């Protein structure tokens, strides 16, 4: 099967086929990120795709290559969410039953959307790899047709349709940055990009806490990480695909990693500058831009998806504000007497600080002159304003200490 797939002919076929199930996601030029990096940065907004992610491409193309008999047996897959929706949507279009095994940690939006496309959802395990074992077990038990989310050359060929669209729209592209979980998207994109123009550099981007491909490439063989730890749930994969690994070895120019903290700040940048909601895995490519030393190049960042749970979103926004010093917490010790609290509030108000939360602890000390600890969580305009408030508290005889913010 793999020899037949991932060829120019099959990529062309897949690019035509997926048009039946996808929306056009034209490149968006980013003035902001271009200015930040000294390159011409374009975004490929697959977060605006049907099902909220690129995964529908590979799922739909794979479904088209199956026989009617294979489809009627029922389709099963394992997924951390986006492939699940892609398979559920494709199965619905083909009138086939779909069973999806998802890790118990999958964001609620992805679970509900998958059910919304008519699929049966089984929640199992903490990470994708455990869900996958369960799906294979169920496939054997019920004779379902299993569609792997990334380690399948037909699926990877469908994902490669993204590269076809990028090169058609921006023929002189220098770099394509692609997120890596198990490597299906990176396989399709890098293989087709090199077939179309070997000079295009394709860079894979992984979360630092789930860098299974980087480790595997270094070892020269598919390697399983002992554990993964990242906020990028869609790319929290322990083992890259073994069938597609040789393509990744051959066609990827490099793999770089991004810390969770960078994803948090990039989320805010994307919301503020592009009015786009992009999930953490989709932000990997944008967060990685600053690691590329070249200047004046045309770069495309693939935003792989935008399926983000609202609770996750709110905590990412809060963490981002803390990291940008828009929210901070100071601890001051006050004498235990009436009026002290309003005095501190007056100092902060004078500097235009906005108090979000107060914690008042009377039992911290036996010294009546510094007997009360007051923890104040404030909103500021940024680093300079924060420093201004701290200096004002110092000047008024308090000894403010910065402490960890817990909202």
pLDDT in the model for residue 367: 61
Question: Annotated catalytic sites, by residue?
Answer: 55, 304
349 with 296: CB under 8 angstroms? no
Please give the pLDDT value at position 106.
85
Q: What is the CATH number of domain 1-324?
A: 3.40.50.1100
Torsion of CA 317, 229, 159, 59, to 10 degrees: -100
Q: Quick one: pLDDT at residue 3?
A: 53
Mean pLDDT, 10 residues at a time, the chain of 407 residues = 80 97 97 98 96 95 96 93 92 95 88 94 91 96 95 97 98 98 97 98 98 98 96 92 97 98 96 96 98 97 93 93 95 88 94 94 63 91 96 94 89
**Residue 193 φ/ψ, nearest 5 degrees:** -60, -45
CA proximity to 120, closest of 151, 155, 74: 74
SS3 readout for 130-144:
HHHHHHHHHHHHHCC
What pLDDT, on the 0 to 100 scale, is given for residue 363?
67
Q: Does domain 326-403 have CATH number 3.30.70.260?
A: yes
pLDDT score recorded for residue 368: 55
In the chain, where the domains are located? 1-324, 326-403
13 closest CA partner among 85, 75, 64, 83: 64
The sign of the CA dihedral 284, 290, 292, 298 is positive
């Amino acid at each position: 099967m793999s020899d037949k797939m991932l060829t120019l002919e099959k990529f062309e076929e897949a690019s035509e086929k997926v048009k039946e199930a996808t929306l056009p996601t034209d490149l968006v030029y980013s003035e902001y990120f271009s200015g930040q990096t000294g390159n011409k940065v374009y975004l490929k907004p697959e977060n605006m795709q049907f099902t909220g992610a690129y995964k529908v491409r590979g799922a739909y193309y794979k479904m088209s290559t199956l026989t009617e008999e294979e489809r009627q047996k029922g389709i099963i897959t394992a997924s951390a969410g986006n492939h699940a929706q892609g398979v559920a949507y494709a199965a619905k279009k083909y009138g086939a039953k779909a069973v999806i095994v998802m890790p118990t940690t999958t964001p609620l939006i992805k679970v509900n959307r998958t059910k919304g496309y008519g699929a049966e959802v089984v929640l199992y395990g903490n990470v994708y790899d455990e869900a996958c074992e369960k799906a294979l077990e169920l496939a054997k038990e019920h004779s379902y047709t299993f569609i792997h989310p990334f380690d399948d050359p037909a699926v990877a060929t469908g994902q490669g349709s993204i590269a076809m669209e990028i090169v058609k729209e921006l023929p002189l592209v220098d770099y394509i940055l692609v997120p890596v979980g198990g490597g299906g998207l990176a396989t399709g994109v890098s293989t087709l990009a090199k077939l179309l123009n070997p000079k295009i550099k394709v860079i894979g981007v992984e979360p630092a806490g789930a860098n299974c491909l980087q480790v595997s490439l270094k070892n020269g063989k598919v390697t399983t990480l002992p554990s993964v730890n990242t906020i990028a749930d869609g790319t929290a994969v322990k083992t890259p695909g073994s069938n597609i690994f040789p393509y990744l070895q051959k066609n990827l120019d490099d793999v770089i990693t991004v810390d969770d903290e960078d994803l948090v700040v990039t989320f805010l940048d994307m919301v503020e500058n592009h009015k786009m909601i992009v999930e953490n895995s989709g932000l990997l490519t944008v967060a990685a831009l600053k690691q590329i030393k070249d200047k004046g190049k045309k770069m495309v960042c693939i935003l792989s998806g935008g399926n983000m749970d609202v609770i996750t979103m709110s905590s990412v926004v809060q963490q981002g504000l803390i990291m940008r010093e828009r929210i901070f917490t100071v601890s001051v010790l006050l004498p235990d007497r009436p009026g002290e609290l309003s005095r501190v509030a007056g100092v902060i108000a004078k500097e235009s600080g906005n108090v979000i939360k107060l914690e008042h602890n009377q039992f911290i000390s036996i010294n009546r002159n510094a007997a009360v600890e007051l923890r104040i969580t404030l909103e500021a305009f940024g680093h300079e304003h924060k420093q201004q408030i701290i200096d004002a508290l110092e000047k008024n005889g308090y000894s403010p200490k910065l402490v960890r913010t817990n909202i």
